[in-house]
Amino acid sequence: MDNLQNKRCLIGMPSASGLISAYTVDSLFKLTRPMPISLLIIERQAVDAARNYIVEIAIRMGIDYLFFADDDGVLPPSTLVKLVEDDKDIVAAPMLTRNVRDNGKHAICCFKKENFYIGDGKTIGKYRSVDGFDNSKGYLHQVDAVGSACILIKKIVFETLFKKHNGRIYEFIHETHITKEHGVSLRNISEDMCFSERAKDEGFEIWIDTRIRPVHLGSPKLIRFEQEGENWKPINTPLKSTSLLSENLGDFNPELPDTPNEDKSKENEDKK
């Protein structure tokens, strides 16, 4: 990507509680910035309203890239660099659900769309989490929908959808379908599934970059997407340590400064 210094990126963060973890703040400070960056946090608003307002501000500012990050996520320092490098209209990182599902496992917030027959010759689209990714084919993978916890969106996408949907790109969809054959069928999708579906309807592709592994701040443990057979560095919880969580994400490897010469000399004298 050339001339990134002539581009601008807005980091948008909805925060319904108004409380943001120190881990999240730490990771934002340590993000490598490939272009000029602004940050907009919307507190104590419904998540769909917050996202739509962030999109509106991005358009008013003439922003080239909109990056959504959640207030309970911890991002590797190279996140933005890699997402921009991918050069996709919509590209995100795999984030696991905070809580385990009924099968006792965390699901990936990346989805495939399946059409379910509801009777009378009709179908409705519903979304299921993907099981994983085959990295033998590369680190970029197409999906039908993705959560917005760590996602980069190009200007052409949010401007197109904002205009078509009267400023409400993100909405919770609650539909009731009635057929004589099967009776009542419900279709409920979240605001980020709605965004994904509307983007796909306009011909935009949605990609996942598995090089980027954000941490979702679950309770009581920290969780991160990993693939079978991988041997990633364990994530340590820094309770009483100088090590920060972001230093366990693979991109930050600080070296301790050398001890001053005078201190070494004193130490040698003490040994004698």
Amino acid 89: pLDDT? 97
Which structural domain, as residue segments, surrounds residue 175? 4-230
In a domain, 261, yes or no: no
Question: Mind listing the pLDDT tens digit for each residue in 38-54?
Answer: 999 999 999 999 999 99
Angle among Cα 220, 23, 192 to the nearest 5 degrees reads 80
pLDDT in tens, 95-105: 998 888 778 88
Count up the domains in the chain and report the number.
1
Nearest CA among 180, 166, 175, 79 for reference residue 121: 180
- Give Cβ neighbours of residue 88 (< 8 Å, ≥ 6 apart): 140, 152, 154, 205, 207
**Where are the extended beta strands (E) located within 97-172?**
110-119, 122-129, 140-143, 145-146, 150-154
Q: What residues does 69 pair with on adjacent strands?
A: 150
Of 26-30, 174-178, 187-191, 265-269, the poorest mean pLDDT is in 265-269
Q: Reply yes or no: is the peptide bond before residue 260 cis, omega within 30 of 0.
A: no
- Read off the pLDDT of residues 116-149 as tens digits, 9 standing for 90 and up: 888 888 988 889 999 889 888 899 999 999 999 9
pTM, 2 dp: 0.82
Residue 42 within any structural domain of the chain = yes
* CATH number of the domain that residue 20 is part of: 3.90.550.40
Is residue 252, in this structure, part of any structural domain at all? no
Residue 30 lies in a domain: yes
**Does residue 163 fall inside a structural domain?**
yes
Amino acid at 19: L
Q: Does 266 fall in a domain?
A: no
